[in-house]
Amino acid sequence: MKKFIIEPSFLEIFPDAHIGIIVCNGIDSRVKEENRYAGYLAECQKAAETHIAAPEFIQNPVIKTWREAFYKFKTKKGARCSIEALLKRVSKGEVLRPIIPLVDIYNGISLKYGVPVGGENIDTIQGDLRLTVAEGGEDFITYGSDKSEPPYEGEVVYKDDAGAVCRCFNWRESVRTMLTEETTNAFMCLECVDPAGHQNLNDAVTELKSLIESELGGTCRMEILSKDCPEVVIE
């Protein structure tokens, strides 16, 4: 039985965090129609403009909140929250291209709601998955690399028994557990560290669950985890 566990070391830094979880089983994320989600992504990019309405990028609430969050733990120089990276591309007028259906769907939700969204292949997770603080030295190989770049001691990470799964909270993920077209059982997570955003997070999780079920089949269940409910079975 695999679990996802938010550990006390993380909650000491972010006591008000809510982590939205969707466990997906039996989905089909193979590309069957090229550019099927191009229009969907374009609509979500348009919606995302509301999150970057301030003239100075860093002063937008979504960006400011996550910049402040990243100041609270040890990070790799230049590391930024995943939603900041997406919104930066929108601000530059870039067009997001489809990747695979599951990733396209969750990128759209991330843009629409202004929340970080990520996912991992449950079948490649070894042991329990934990949101915690790194000891330093955990194995970590990211996409496009062939060497391990371990997290720093004190860095917020997702990790399992084999090493780090995602570095700097939600910055960059391990190639070992990344979602692919072959993924049939997926762990999705959406993150919020500001109590004012809890309802927005809940709405985002609910819509993502609905879209995955309607578009990719299978079954999904969702949970909102916090200090009051810090773990859930994912397999």
> What is the per-residue pLDDT across 36-52, written as a single tens digit (0 to 9) for each?
999 999 999 999 999 99
* Res 230 pLDDT > 90: yes
Per-position DSSP letters for 7-48, written without gaps between them: -HHHHHH-TT-EEEEEEEES------STTTTHHHHHHHHHHH
What is the rounded average pLDDT of the residues 97-119?
A: 97
Q: How many residues does the chain have?
A: 235
In this prediction, residue 145 carries a pLDDT of 87
What is the rounded average pLDDT of the residues 147-174?
A: 97
In this prediction, residue 183 carries a pLDDT of 98
Two tokens, residue 123:
């079948």
Residue 67 amino acid letter? R
**Angle made by CA atoms 29, 100, 217, in degrees to the nearest 5:** 25
What is the rounded average pLDDT of the residues 124-132?
A: 98
pLDDT tens for each residue of 175-214: 999 999 999 999 999 999 999 999 999 999 999 999 999 9
Among residues of the chain, what percentage have pLDDT more than 70? 100
Q: Model-level pTM? A: 0.96
Residue 144 pLDDT class (50, 70, 90 cuts)? confident
Q: Is the distance from CB of 211 to CB of 41 less than 8 angstroms? A: no
* Res 112 pLDDT > 90: yes
